[in-house]
Every structure is written in C-alpha cells, then in structure tokens.
C-alpha cells in the first residue's frame, strides 16, 4: 500500500510540475509578444514628425506603409510594401477588438472598399479610445484617435500580425 501511495504522490508531483510549465510558458509567450509590440510601437513613434512622401521609407519622408515596414523591421518581421498588400496578412480584427500592435486599414479614396491607407494601433484603452500612428499626407507621421469622425467613417478593418 505504501508503494502505491508513493507512486501516486510522485505522479501528482509530475502532473503539478507539467501544469506549472504550461502556465509559465503561456505567461512568457505573452510577455514576448508584448515586448515585440512595444518595440514596433516605439520604433513607429520615433518617426513622429517625419514628413509625408509617397513611396518614402526614410526619415526624410515616408508614406503610411513605409512607416509600418520600418516599424516591423525592428523585430525582424518583414511585411509587404503597400497597404493593399498588407491588408492580406494576419488575422482580421473588428473595430471593437483592436489591440496595441494591430494594423488598421482605411478607404480614403473615392472607392469606399479600396484600401488606400494603413496605420498601427498604439493604444487601446476601452470604447472610443483607440490611438493609432500613421503617415498622414498633410501632417506627416502623427497619432490620431480612430474614433474621430474622419477616420471612423473610412475605417474598414484591423489585422493582427503578432499573436
């Protein structure tokens, strides 16, 4: 009987140890994701004030997709060059489910469905408090609230690249 109890206790210890490993790896995976997103956002913000230049990818001038290419390159995560190509990667996310690090896509042209602009969510603090950074054609690299009338009317969807 004592031998069986010892095996049972040993089995419990192994089981508890495995649960501990699984739970600790979930926490470390979440922290790794958060570090990557922080790096992407910090990199994007380092371009604040950079003037807009169609096709640009440097501090002397950049466009919206160029900003995101540079930001994701900071974590060695290559993404396509244009907002139209970027809209095809990652998992689609609804407005109410946006999180920091998500890409946000807009139709700013005459065609209401054609994606022409992209930004990066920098802060998601509840309903109607979602900030995103982007390269505005009139202001250069800036942060705005996605719930402003202009952007809300043109918002189409988000995409999550980093899980």
Residue 151, token pair as written in the block: 């952007």
The closest of 118, 81, 74, 126 to 99, measured between CA atoms, is 126
Asked about 162 being catalytic, the answer comes back as no
From 64, 103, 120, 141, active-site residue: 64
Q: Give the contacts of 135 (CB within 8 A, at least 6 positions apart).
A: 47, 50, 52, 62, 63, 64, 66, 67, 141
What whole-number distance in Å separates Cα of residue 17 and Cα of residue 10? 10
- Of 37, 134, 135, 146, which is the active-site residue? 134
Question: Which of the following is catalytic: 36, 106, 115, 117?
Answer: 117
- Both structure tokens of 11: 């089995």
Task: Say whether 64 is catalytic.
Answer: yes
* 117 labelled catalytic: yes
- Pairwise CA distance, residues 65 & 157, whole Å: 16
- Would you name the residues annotated as active-site residues? 64, 117, 134
């Amino acid at each position: 009987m004592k031998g069986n109890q010892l095996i049972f206790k040993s089995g419990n210890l192994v089981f508890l140890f495995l649960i501990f490993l699984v739970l600790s790896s979930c926490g470390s995976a979440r922290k790794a994701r958060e570090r990557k997103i922080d790096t992407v956002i910090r990199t994007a913000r380092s371009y604040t004030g950079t003037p807009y230049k169609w096709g640009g990818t440097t501090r002397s001038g950049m466009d919206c997709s160029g900003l995101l290419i540079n930001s994701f390159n900071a974590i060695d995560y290559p993404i396509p060059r244009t907002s139209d190509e970027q809209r095809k990667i990652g998992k689609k996310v609804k407005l109410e489910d946006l999180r920091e690090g998500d890409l946000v896509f807009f139709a700013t042209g005459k065609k209401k469905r054609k994606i022409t602009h992209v930004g990066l969510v920098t802060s998601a603090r509840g309903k109607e408090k979602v900030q995103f950074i982007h390269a505005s054609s009139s202001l250069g690299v800036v942060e705005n609230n996605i719930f402003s009338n202009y952007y809300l009317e043109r918002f189409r969807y988000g995409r999550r690249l980093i899980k």
